[in-house]
Amino acid sequence: MAMERRQLGVGLLALLAFAGIILSFGPPRLLWLNEGPWLDYPWYRGVGALVAAAAFLAAALLPRSLSGKVAAGLPAILLLAWSAHLLVLRVEVGRNGLVARGLRGGHAIAWRDVVGVDPEPERLVVRGPGDPVVIPTRGAEAEDRARLERTIARRVREATQPQPGSP
């Protein structure tokens, strides 16, 4: 009887972990606001990764051997980091510049300071002084990505062109 409960518990933890992992994957959300686009992940993606991490953490308490604990604990740690990334990441394409927030803190680049935009298959990398701002676009609609690229290009162009009436 105790063995059946244990197997049922392991099965439920595996189901929770699987469901959480599936829920955590998907494209970022791109919102078009008056000030400019705003990119982040929907809250449920981070919560899904958090649920999966909790399931792996609970599974790490079950085995008696150290190797079994490590085998379940390592994915829990990785999923906690993934969850934090999904919950914290935000990129704002504002009128004055690009503002990004992530696990390593925040970073802003004024449009006049942008030295390059590198479109890569699953992300856009905006280079300026200091660290580049990486905008994840994996799984985004092609039209949304193109619109985002055009918006960034227009903002950089507007910031670097001389204003009418200025010397």
Residue 108: in which H helix or E strand, if any? strand 105-110
Model pLDDT for residues 12-39, shown as the tens digit of each residue: 898 999 999 999 999 899 998 888 899 9
Mean pLDDT, the chain, integer: 89
What confidence category does residue 1 fall into, taking pLDDT thresholds of 50, 70 and 90?
Answer: low
Pair of tokens at residue 89: 């990441």
- Residue 105's DSSP bridge partners are 102
The structural architecture, per CATH, of the domain 89-162 is: Roll (2.30)
Global pTM value: 0.80
Find where tokens 């790490």 sit: 60
Pair of tokens at residue 139: 């799984």
Statement: residue 125 has pLDDT above 80? yes
Model pLDDT for residues 39-95, shown as the tens digit of each residue: 999 999 999 999 999 999 998 888 788 888 888 889 999 999 999 999 999 999 998
Question: What is the pLDDT, as a whole number, of residue 167?
Answer: 57
